[in-house]
Amino acid sequence: MTVPPIEQPGQASAEETNLESDAQILEFESENLTLRGHLFAPETPQTTAVVFCHGALEFQDNWFAYARQLKAEQISAFTFDFAGHGQSEGTRNLVDLRVWAYNIRDALNFLTTQGYRRFALVGWGLGGSAALLAAAHDTRLACAVVLSTPVSLMPPFSERVAYGLVSLAARVIKLFRKRPLTLSRLNELSDLRFLSEDQANELFFTDARIQENYRAVPIPESLDSVWLDISRAVIKVEIPVLILHGEEDEIVPRDQSQKLANLLGGKKKINTFDRSAHALHLDVDQEAVYDLTVKWIKQYLMK
């Protein structure tokens, strides 16, 4: 079983054109915003679907290869952009896990109008965190797969004080400007490693959309990207959860996956990949990541 080659950054326009032939471009409402998604559905009607959740300051496109492969295996897949990301409405680059969990809920609500009844969630990074929040309450979910997913991130004390002061100032400024204060995180890109190979990692961050997202990060609307704790919600998750992590991940510490496993009360399994970094679904082990993901989905969603 193989995954189609990853579309390289900068190919978004060609990708969007190709989508018209193999996916329905759909819109749904969430938190008074219009969110945009793509439904990859086989011709045979389905009642189950896999919903993909992207990471912070990212977009749904990086799940298209997996969604296409699932469709080829007669499994419906739905990708969408969270509020403020990609082609969805909302404060640009918003990273609020409460809002993201509501976005997932409303995506499932929308899919039920299309005839779907049971779902699996696949989430990367903070998209995985949002998926866990949704899984704590939504009985329509049969299982989940989370990749490089944080459960509890606590910045050093000095940074917490700085975040608090900046957030307070931002709220005051917003009262007058009527729009969020934004900070640039472009300087961080040269130090971030999402992919294990240097050339692929550099190419990932030269994507104009990634550059634009890191240029204007709203404060405090994206505080969840650096400071969060979803432990109480995770304890309530009862569905089977597959936990995947790259051994070379320098963004989300490896111990986060073990913390997650320790908190989960239901069936869970951890798999690590020696050669992969943070974005392991796009990295050198992507085919193995896909194989484990679809096996888990078939075992718990398709039974």
Tokens of 88: 């969805």
- Measured CA to CA, the distance from residue 169 to residue 180 in angstroms comes to 11
pLDDT at residue 160, as a whole number: 63
pLDDT at residue 162, as a whole number: 67
Nearest Cα to 213, choosing from 253, 177, 186?
A: 186
Q: Are 286 and 210 in contact (CB under 8 A)?
A: no
Cα torsion 205, 208, 212, 215: sign? positive
pLDDT (tens digit per residue) in 280-298? 999 999 999 999 999 999 9
Residue 44 CB contacts under 8 Å (≥ 6 apart), including other chains = 74
pLDDT (tens digit per residue) in 239-291? 999 999 999 999 999 999 999 999 999 999 999 999 999 999 999 999 999 99
pLDDT at residue 170, as a whole number: 65
Report all structural domains of the chain as residue ranges with CATH numbers, in order of start: 12-155+228-300 (3.40.50.1820)
pLDDT at residue 18, as a whole number: 59
Residue 40 CB contacts under 8 Å (≥ 6 apart), including other chains = 22, 23, 67, 68, 70, 71, 76, 77, 78, 79
Which residues partner with 153 through β-bridges?
228
Give first-to-last CA distance, the chain, whole Å.
Answer: 20
pLDDT at residue 17, as a whole number: 47
pLDDT at residue 61, as a whole number: 96
Q: Are 170 and 181 in contact (CB under 8 A)?
A: yes
Mean pLDDT in order along the chain per 10 residues (303 residues): 41 50 94 98 96 97 97 97 97 95 98 97 98 97 98 75 67 69 87 95 94 90 84 97 97 96 97 97 97 98 87
pLDDT at residue 178, as a whole number: 67
Q: What is the largest CA-CA distance in the chain?
A: 56
- Which helix (H) or strand (E) segment is 69 a member of? helix 64-72
DSSP state of 60: G
pLDDT at residue 181, as a whole number: 80
pLDDT at residue 13, as a whole number: 42
The CA–CA distances, whole Å, from 235 to 12, 64, 136, 169, 271 equal: 38, 31, 8, 34, 20
Buried b (16+ CB within 10 A) or exposed e, 279-302: bbbbbbbbebbbebbbebbeebbb
Nearest Cα to 149, choosing from 122, 120, 128?
A: 128
pLDDT at residue 9, as a whole number: 37
Mean pLDDT for the chain?
A: 90
Give the three-state DSSP class for 72.
helix
pLDDT at residue 222, as a whole number: 84
Q: What percent of the chain has pLDDT over 70?
A: 86
Number of neighbouring beta carbons within 10 Å of residue 16: 13
Fill in the amino acid letter for 124. Answer: W
The CA–CA distances, whole Å, from 53 to 67, 262, 303 equal: 12, 23, 23
Give the three-state DSSP class for 84.
coil
- Measured CA to CA, the distance from residue 136 to residue 232 in angstroms comes to 9
